[in-house]
Amino acid sequence: MNIIDWFLDRFRLKTVHRGIFDRDIPEGISYFYCFGGIAFSAFLFCFISGLFLSLHYIPSEKEAYQSILRIQEEVPLGKLIRGIHKWSANVLIVSIIFHSIRVFVTKSYRPPRELNWVVGVLVFLIIMLEGFTGYLLPWDQKAYWATVVGTNIAGSIPFVGETILLIIRGNYEVSGVTLSRFYSFHVLWFPSIIILLLWAHFHMIKKLGISKPL
Partner 1 sequence: MSINKQLEKINRRVFLKKVIKSFFLVISLILPFIWLTILKPKNPKRRDFKFFEIPKDKYPKEGLKKVDIKIDEKKYFKIFLVNRNDNSLIALSPVCTHLGCFVNFNRYNNEFICPCHGGRYDIEGRVITGPPKENLQRLPVKIENDKIYVGLII
Give the residues lining the site for ligand HEM (CB under 6 A).
33, 35-37, 39-40, 43, 96, 99-100, 103, 108-109, 113, 116-117, 120-121, 123-124, 127, 198, 201, 205, 210-211
Burial class (CB in 10 A: 0-12, 13-18, 19+), 91: middle
3-state secondary structure of 59: coil
Measured CA distances, 79 to 71, 74, 75, 195 (Å): 6, 9, 8, 27
Instruction: Decide whether 84 or 165 has the Cβ nearer to partner 1.
Output: 165
Instruction: Decide whether 42 or 143 has the Cβ nearer to ligand HEM.
Output: 42
Integer Cα distance of 171 and 169 in angstroms: 5
Residue 72 binds partner 1, judged by CB under 8 A: no
DSSP readout, 149-197? HHHHHHHTSTTTHHHHHHHHHSSSSS-HHHHHHHHHIIIIIHHHHHHHH
Integer Cα distance of 41 and 102 in angstroms: 17
177 binds, among ligand HEM, partner 1, none (CB under 5 to 8 A by kind): partner 1
152 binds, among partner 1, ligand HEM, none (CB under 5 to 8 A by kind): partner 1
156 binds, among partner 1, ligand HEM, none (CB under 5 to 8 A by kind): partner 1
Residue 161 binds partner 1, judged by CB under 8 A: no
210 binds, among ligand HEM, partner 1, none (CB under 5 to 8 A by kind): ligand HEM
Nearest position to ligand HEM, beta carbon: 120
108 binds, among ligand HEM, partner 1, none (CB under 5 to 8 A by kind): ligand HEM
Integer Cα distance of 33 and 39 in angstroms: 11
Integer Cα distance of 97 and 131 in angstroms: 15
Binding site for partner 1 (CB under 8 A): 65, 141, 145, 148-149, 152-153, 156, 163, 166-168, 170-173, 175, 177, 181
